[in-house]
């Protein structure tokens, strides 16, 4: 009865605590978290970015690998996979349990004999203590489960490295996008100054009757067009800069100055060498290898269900009951379990495991083809980007020379305002294309290095072949 009363009190207390937890939920939790998060993010940003700092690509990569939330989350998942593997190792070790039971009766229990006499059968209050130990002797499934967890730990590490590589590529693309917008803004500022000068000149020609009204307004239209484009470029720069800061794990409200460097370079190598390097260094293929290995262990695990399982056990028991002749005793033995018939469940599970293993190998082959295709695309993207840089340089050189010649002809009165404006627009367009082509080449080379499993900008990629 005493035990039942204590149990009932415990259940009521747990129910009350659960009810209090639901009632005491703070409806202002979202507001408090928003305020605390903004303060913490600002402090982290100020600590990571000193005032007036100028960041290069390597600086941005370092900040992203340190603060990016996806990188930190992947590291946590890798540690969880390691803990899962260590938990699976516990199946090889003995399990020891200690139990202690104390009981009491309001009256000492007695047996009644012949309806008249009674004698006690045990003490009124007593306790029992037991120590039990179990040790697996032959349990094949534990080996295969541990091997699967081991492969899972390796996959966790590979996923972490792959996440870091993809963050580096994302930082690279945003970094050069920001630089392209910065250079575009500088070019537009000089173009606006030139357009305003042209607007004043055409205004004077209109005052003298040398050009018509619509020709004089062409200069104003050009200046307005360049001003509008500059405003749009600055807004785009603010948006892309916020994206870059978010990937860095810092406050997107902070504006940062970037260095105008182009540090990425790719050596001229045959396509076959890039494909061979990707097949050895791309982390997705190493992940596919581990997944295929896990499915192979699943087949072994299904086979293990046909085998007996043996375990040894031993226990020591002690009681305080004074009516027991031997209060201490040991018990030990060997237990075994073997499935004889379970409705062909183990047979069908084995067949399904074989099918999953074959599917895993097919997925690995498909992943290899995908990586090879990505290498080919990235390789020729680099070729196209380099051709685009050479072409844009040549077009800009031609457009600049033509603009210089037309300017000289304009001063001599040999060129109409419309022709002059068209030539200047061609030169400005060529300059924009030249800027974009230079930064697109950097992004294309970064993509090729990424798919090939190579590092850049201070980010070192592990040698997976040695790790295997």
Give the C-alpha separation, 406 to 195, whole Å: 15
Mean pLDDT of 423-446: 90
CB neighbours (10 Å) of residue 186? 14
Short-list 52, 41, 458, CA closest to 242:
41
Give the C-alpha separation, 67 to 248, whole Å: 6
Segment 279-338, tens digit of pLDDT: 999 999 999 999 999 999 999 999 998 999 999 999 999 999 998 989 999 999 999 999
Percent of the chain beyond pLDDT 90?
A: 62
pLDDT of residue 172: 95
Burial (CB count within 10 angstroms: exposed 0-12, middle 13-18, buried 19+), residue 378: buried
| Residue whose tokens read 């693309």 | 173
Segment 337-352, tens digit of pLDDT: 998 888 899 999 999 9
pLDDT of residue 218: 78
The C-alpha torsion from 252 through 58 and 284 to 155, rounded to 10°, is -80
pLDDT of residue 204: 79
Segment 165-210, tens digit of pLDDT: 999 999 999 999 999 999 999 888 888 888 787 778 778 777 777 6
Measured CA distances, 92 to 134, 313, 336 (Å)? 11, 14, 16
pLDDT of residue 4: 45
SS3 category, 95: strand
Class of domain 53-104+126-456: mainly alpha
Mean pLDDT of 83-110: 92
Q: How confident is the model at residue 2 (pLDDT cuts 50, 70, 90)?
A: very low
151 or 9, greater pLDDT: 151
pLDDT of 59 > 90? The answer is: yes
Q: Is residue 335 within 8 Å of 310, Cβ to Cβ?
A: yes
pLDDT of residue 455: 86
The angle that helices 140-207 and 283-304 make with each other, rounded to 10 degrees, is 160
pLDDT of 367 > 80? The answer is: yes
Give residue 75's Cα distance to chain centre: 9
- Pure H helices in 248-323: 271-281, 283-304
Domain limits of the chain? 53-104+126-456
Q: How confident is the model at residue 25 (pLDDT cuts 50, 70, 90)?
A: low
pTM: 0.84
Mean pLDDT of 146-158: 95
pLDDT of 464 > 60? The answer is: yes
Measured CA distances, 172 to 41, 240, 248, 454 (Å)? 23, 12, 11, 14
Q: Is residue 287 within 8 Å of 155, Cβ to Cβ?
A: yes
Mean pLDDT of 143-152: 94
Handedness of CA 25, 31, 34, 39 (dihedral sign): negative
* Mean pLDDT comparison of 2-6, 235-239, 462-466, highest-scoring range: 235-239
């Amino acid at each position: 009865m005493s035990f039942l009363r204590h149990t009932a009190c415990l259940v009521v207390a747990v129910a009350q605590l659960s009810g209090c937890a639901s009632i005491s939920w703070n409806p202002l939790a979202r507001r408090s978290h928003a305020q605390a998060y903004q303060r913490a993010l600002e402090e982290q940003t100020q600590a990571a970015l000193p005032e007036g700092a100028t960041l290069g690509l390597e600086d941005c990569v370092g900040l992203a690998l340190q603060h990016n939330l996806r990188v930190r989350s992947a590291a946590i998942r890798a540690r969880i996979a390691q803990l899962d593997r260590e938990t699976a190792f516990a199946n090889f070790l003995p399990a020891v349990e200690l139990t202690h039971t104390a009981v009491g009766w309001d009256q000492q229990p007695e047996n009644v004999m012949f309806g008249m006499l009674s004698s006690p059968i045990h003490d009124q209050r007593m306790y029992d203590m037991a120590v039990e130990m179990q040790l697996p002797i032959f349990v094949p499934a534990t080996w295969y489960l541990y091997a699967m967890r081991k492969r899972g730990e390796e996959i966790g590490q590979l996923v972490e490295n792959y996440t870091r590589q993809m963050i580096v590529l994302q930082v690279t693309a945003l970094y050069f996008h920001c630089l392209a917008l910065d250079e575009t803004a500088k070019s537009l500022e000089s173009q606006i100054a030139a357009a305003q000068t042209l607007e004043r000149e055409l205004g004077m020609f209109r005052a003298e009757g040398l050009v018509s009204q619509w020709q004089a307004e062409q200069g104003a239209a050009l200046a307005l067009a360049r001003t509008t484009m500059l405003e749009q470029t600055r807004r785009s720069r603010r948006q892309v800069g916020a994206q870059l800061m978010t990937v860095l794990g810092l406050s997107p409200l902070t504006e940062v100055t970037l260095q105008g460097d182009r540090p990425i370079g790719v050596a001229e190598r045959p396509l076959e060498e890039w494909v061979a390097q990707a097949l050895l260094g791309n982390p997705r293929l190493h992940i596919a290898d581990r997944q295929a290995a896990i499915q192979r262990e699943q087949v072994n695990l299904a086979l293990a269900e046909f085998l007996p399982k043996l375990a040894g056990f031993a226990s020591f028991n002690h009681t305080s009951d004074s009516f027991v002749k031997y209060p201490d005793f040991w018990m030990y033995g060997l237990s075994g379990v073997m499935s004889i018939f379970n409705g062909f469940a183990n047979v069908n599970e084995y067949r399904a495991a074989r099918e999953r293993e074959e599917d895993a190998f097919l997925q690995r082959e498909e992943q290899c083809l995908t990586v090879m295709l990505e290498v080919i695309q990235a390789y020729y993207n680099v070729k196209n980007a380099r051709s685009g840089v050479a072409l844009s340089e040549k077009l800009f050189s031609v457009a600049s020379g033509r603009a210089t010649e037309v300017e000289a002809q304009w001063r001599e009165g040999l060129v109409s305002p419309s022709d002059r404006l068209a030539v200047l627009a061609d030169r400005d367009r060529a300059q924009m294309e030249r800027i974009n082509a230079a930064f697109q080449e950097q992004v294309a080379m970064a993509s090729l290095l990424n798919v090939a499993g190579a590092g850049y900008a201070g980010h070192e990629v592990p040698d997976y072949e040695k790790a295997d």
